Amino acid sequence: MEILTLKNQYNNSPAIAPVIDLYANLRTGNNPENNYYEMKNAGRNPGISKQKGRMVKGSLFPNPVKELSRDLKTFKKALKGQGTDYSIGKLNDLAIASGTGLIALTLSGVQKVPHARAMEFIGAGAWLASMHLWPKIFLAKPIKAATGVDLNLEYINAQGDKKPYWQDPQYIPMDLLDKQTLDKAADKLNVPKDMKDRDEETFRRMKKVATGTNTWWMLTAGFSTPIMASIIANKMERPAHYIIDNYNIIKAQAQLEAAGISTGPKNLLVKIGKKLIKLSNHFRPDKDQKALEKVLVTGNQEAIETFFSNKFKNTSLFHPVLNEIEDAFNEEKLPKIPERLTKAFDDANKLIEVDKAFNNYSAALSRRAGRLREYAATKTLTKLFTRKEIKEIPNSEKIAQRAIDIAEKEGKTENIIKMLEKIAKKPIEYATQVYDRLAELSGKMAERIETNPFGNSVTKKANELIQTAGYKLTGTEATFGRIPQLLRQAKDPAKHGVGDVINGFIQMDHAITHDSPILKKLAMMARSLVPHDVWNSLAKNPTDDTFYLNIDNAKEFLEGLFGKGKRAIGALLKFLPQNRKSKESMSKQVSDMIGETPADFLQKIAKEYNNSTNKWFTRVGVIGGGALLATSAAALYMIINNAKKPGKEGVKRV
Amino acid sequence: MLKNTGFYPVKINESCPAFGNQDELLPNDRITKVKTGVKQASKLPKYAVEGLKGNEDANFFEFLQLGKIPYWVGGLVLVGCFAAGGKSSIPLAKQKAAGVLLYYLAAMAAKALINKPVKFFKGVDLNRKYDDHVSLQQRDEKGESLKKTELHNLYESIDFTRWDLLYKNQQAHAASNPGLVNEEYEDILLKMGLDKNLNDPDSTVKPYVSKIIVASRAWKSLLSVPLAGLAIGLSTWDGWQDWGDGFKNNRKNAFKGIKAFNNNIIKPYITQPLARSFAHLWKGNGFNNKIAKKFGGKALILAPLAATAWANLNILRITYLKEDKYIDANKTGNKNNLIKRTFNAWKS
Tell me: the pLDDT tens digits for B301-312?
999 999 999 999
Residue A590 has a pLDDT of: 44
What is the C-alpha separation between A374 and A1, in angstroms, rounded? 91
> At A5, which amino acid appears?
T
Residue B137 has a pLDDT of: 82
**CA of A607 vs chain B CAs: smallest distance (Å):** 13
B347: left (phi over 0), alpha (psi -120 to 50) or beta: alpha
Could you give the C-alpha distances from A177 to A56, A153, A182, A639, in angstroms and in order? 11, 10, 7, 21
Which of A99, A106, A109 lies nearest to residue B288, judging by beta carbons? A109
Residue B97 has a pLDDT of: 94
Instruction: Please identify among residues 522-551 of chain A the ones whose CB lies closer than 8 Å to any CB of chain B.
Output: none
**CA of A642 vs chain B CAs: smallest distance (Å):** 7
Residue A627 has a pLDDT of: 93
Instruction: Verify whether the Cβ–Cβ distance B84 to A74 is below 8 Å.
Output: no
What is the C-alpha separation between B22 and A17, in angstroms, rounded? 35
Residues of B in contact with A654 (CB under 8 A): 137, 145
Residues of A in contact with B288 (CB under 8 A): 109-112
Q: For the purposes of burial, counting CB atoms within 10 Å of the CB of B29, is it exposed (0-12), middle (13-18) or buried (19 or more)? A: exposed
A222-238 mean pLDDT: 89
Residue A18 has a pLDDT of: 57
Question: A interface mutation test: which of B81, B317, B338, B348 has the most A CBs within 10 A?
Answer: B81
B163, part of any domain: no
Which of A74, A83, A212 lies nearest to residue B51, judging by beta carbons? A212
Q: Which residue has the higher pLDDT, A451 or A572?
A: A451
The answer, for A226 touching chain B at a CB cutoff of 8 Å, is yes
Residue A115 has a pLDDT of: 84
Which of B67, B145, B289 lies nearest to residue A109, judging by beta carbons? B289
What is the C-alpha separation between B236 and A579, in angstroms, rounded? 41
Say yes or no to pLDDT of A15 above 70: no
Q: For the purposes of burial, counting CB atoms within 10 Å of the CB of B335, is it exposed (0-12), middle (13-18) or buried (19 or more)? A: middle
Residue B314 has a pLDDT of: 94
B71, part of any domain: yes
Say yes or no to pLDDT of A395 above 70: no
Residues of A in contact with B222 (CB under 8 A): 75, 91, 95
Cβ atoms within 10 A of the Cβ of A49, count? 20
- Residue A280: band (very low, low, confident or very high) from pLDDT cuts 50, 70, 90: confident
- Residue A33: band (very low, low, confident or very high) from pLDDT cuts 50, 70, 90: very low
The string of pLDDT tens digits covering residues B6-33 is 444 444 444 444 444 578 888 888 898 8
Residue A454 has a pLDDT of: 81
B74-84 mean pLDDT: 89
The string of pLDDT tens digits covering residues B186-237 is 888 888 877 666 677 888 888 899 999 999 999 999 999 999 999 999 999 9
A497-515 mean pLDDT: 40
- What is the three-class DSSP state of B132? strand
- What is the three-class DSSP state of B160? coil
A404-411 mean pLDDT: 68
Residue B232 has a pLDDT of: 94
Domain around B66: 24-124+169-325
What is the C-alpha separation between A246 and A244, in angstroms, rounded? 5
What is the C-alpha separation between B114 and B174, in angstroms, rounded? 32
Say yes or no to pLDDT of A22 above 60: no
Instruction: Report CA dihedral (A241, A243, A246, A247) to the nearest 10 degrees.
Output: -110
Residue A217: which of A161, A97, A137 has the closest Cα?
A137
Query: Which helix H or strand E contains A645, and what residues bound it?
Result: none
Instruction: Report CA dihedral (A209, A211, A212, A215) to the nearest 10 degrees.
Output: 150
What is the C-alpha separation between B66 and B68, in angstroms, rounded? 5
Residue A607 has a pLDDT of: 66
Say yes or no to pLDDT of A135 above 50: yes
**In terms of CA atoms, which chain A residue is nearest residue B317?**
A80
B318, part of any domain: yes
Q: Return the sign of the alpha-carbon dihedral for residues B198, B203, B209, B215.
A: negative
- Residue A325: band (very low, low, confident or very high) from pLDDT cuts 50, 70, 90: confident
Most confident of the ranges A223-232, A493-502, A548-557: A223-232
What is the C-alpha separation between B216 and A474, in angstroms, rounded? 67
Residues of A in contact with B138 (CB under 8 A): 651
Question: B interface mutation test: which of A211, A228, A622, A651 has the most B CBs within 10 A?
Answer: A211
Residues of B in contact with A214 (CB under 8 A): 51, 63
What is the C-alpha separation between B101 and B56, in angstroms, rounded? 37
Say yes or no to pLDDT of B348 above 50: yes
B77, part of any domain: yes
Instruction: Please identify among residues 182-221 of chain A the ones whose CB lies closer than 8 Å to any CB of chain B.
Output: 204, 207-212, 214-216, 218-221
pTM (2 decimals)? 0.74
Helices then strands, counting H and E runs in chain A, come out as 27, 3
Residue A17 has a pLDDT of: 57
B11, part of any domain: no
Say yes or no to pLDDT of B116 above 70: yes
Q: Which residue has the higher pLDDT, B131 or A481?
A: B131
Residue A67 has a pLDDT of: 85
Q: Which residue has the higher pLDDT, A94 or A566?
A: A94
**CA of A468 vs chain B CAs: smallest distance (Å):** 30
Q: For the purposes of burial, counting CB atoms within 10 Å of the CB of A193, is it exposed (0-12), middle (13-18) or buried (19 or more)? A: exposed
B176, part of any domain: yes
Q: Which of A522-526, A565-569, B341-345 has the lowest mean pLDDT?
A: A522-526
A286-290 mean pLDDT: 75
Helices then strands, counting H and E runs in chain B, come out as 16, 3
Instruction: Verify whether the Cβ–Cβ distance A99 to B225 is below 8 Å.
Output: yes
Taking each helix axis from N to C end, the angle separating A482-489 and A493-510, rounded to the nearest 10 degrees, works out to: 130
Average pLDDT, chain A: 75
Instruction: Verify whether the Cβ–Cβ distance A81 to B212 is below 8 Å.
Output: yes
Residue A7 has a pLDDT of: 54
What is the C-alpha separation between A127 and A87, in angstroms, rounded? 24
A18-47 mean pLDDT: 48
Percent of chain A topping pLDDT 70 = 67
B304, part of any domain: yes
Instruction: Verify whether the Cβ–Cβ distance B63 to A85 is below 8 Å.
Output: no
- What is the three-class DSSP state of B17? helix
State the total domains in chain B.
Answer: 1
Residue A212 has a pLDDT of: 95
B278-293 mean pLDDT: 89
Say yes or no to pLDDT of A516 above 60: no
B105, part of any domain: yes
Residue A284 has a pLDDT of: 73
Residue A540 has a pLDDT of: 37
Instruction: Verify whether the Cβ–Cβ distance A23 to B343 is below 8 Å.
Output: yes
Say yes or no to pLDDT of A505 above 50: no
The string of pLDDT tens digits covering residues A77-113 is 999 989 999 999 999 988 999 999 999 999 999 888 8
**CA of A413 vs chain B CAs: smallest distance (Å):** 37
Residues of B in contact with A109 (CB under 8 A): 236, 286-289, 292, 296
The string of pLDDT tens digits covering residues B228-269 is 999 999 999 988 998 888 888 888 877 788 888 888 888 888
**CA of B237 vs chain A CAs: smallest distance (Å):** 10
What is the C-alpha separation between B111 and A88, in angstroms, rounded? 15
